[in-house]
Amino acid sequence: MGPRNDNPSGFARSVEIGSYRKLADAFTIYSVNRRAGLPPGVTMAEIAAGHADAIKEISGEPVDVLGLSTGGSVALQLAADHPGVISRLVVAGAALRLGPLGRTAQAEFADRALGGRRALPPLASVLAEKRISQAALRGILWLASPSPRRYHPADTVAVLRAEDAFDLTGRLSDITAPTLVIGGAKDRSYSPDLFRATADGVAGGHLVLLAGRGHLGTFTDRRFIPTVRGFLGAGQR
């Protein structure tokens, strides 16, 4: 769920492959992004339906799904609306709805993107825990932001606005797949209570709360991959 719809290349490709390398010995991994040309006002349910179609094309059987951050929101909607395509679900850095700081940061991102400005810097306020880290990250994200001249943000903004409206309160019981929620105790986009409510709302849901970790730190924590492997059962394909 990055800023582009196409397959990543260059540094972005290296980062994505590196993120999943430690799972590739035990699992066949498919990275599924949103489709291009999302209409304004698209809902998370409509985005999830596209992912359900993709899974059916990839496999004739239910698959394990790992969703990170916004991808975790999509994965939760997918599991609630299309339970037949998921065998086991891991959601990391996501919950049944965004917290208030997450909504604010994403709204500022959207405004800057549509205004032709570099859009990533506002996310520093929720990606890093400490103010000094946020200041440093804001500069890094300014440099990392796709140039407005080379990138049309409509699809990214459509997804973020769908996530802003996303709320599975009252729907979590529709998720039938065994579900693991992994969250950072210092995640500024969500709170421990939101992570806990998500895991508790799913029958057979489990929560792993990583002490001292924020949003990005959840995915880089040394416990993250072993926790995922342990839940999914490393060695199974």
* Domains and their CATH numbers in the chain: 10-99+168-232 (3.40.50.1820)
Q: What does the chain come to in residues?
A: 237
Residue 45 main-chain phi, psi, to 5 deg: -65, -40
The model's confidence at residue 9, banded by pLDDT at 50, 70 and 90, is: low
Q: CB atoms < 10 A from the CB of 202, how many? A: 26
Token pair, residue 94, equals 């996501």
| Share above pLDDT 70 across residues of the chain, in percent, rounded to a whole number | 90
Rounded alpha-carbon distances, angstroms, from residue 29 to 108, 157, 170, 194, 237: 33, 27, 31, 28, 9
- 137 and 120 Cβ atoms separated by less than 8 Å: no
- 4 and 153 Cβ atoms separated by less than 8 Å: no
Instruction: Give per-residue pLDDT as tens, 144-200.
Output: 776 666 666 888 899 999 999 999 999 999 999 999 999 999 999 999 999 999 999
- Better-predicted residue by pLDDT, 26 or 168: 168
Rounded alpha-carbon distances, angstroms, from residue 237 to 24, 150, 225, 229, 232: 10, 39, 16, 12, 10
Sign of the torsion angle spanned by Cα atoms 124, 78, 2, 14: positive
DSSP state string for 26-90: TS-----PPPS-PPTT--HHHHHHHHHHHHHHH-SS-EEEEEETHHHHHHHHHHHH-GGGEEEEE
- Better-predicted residue by pLDDT, 127 or 201: 201
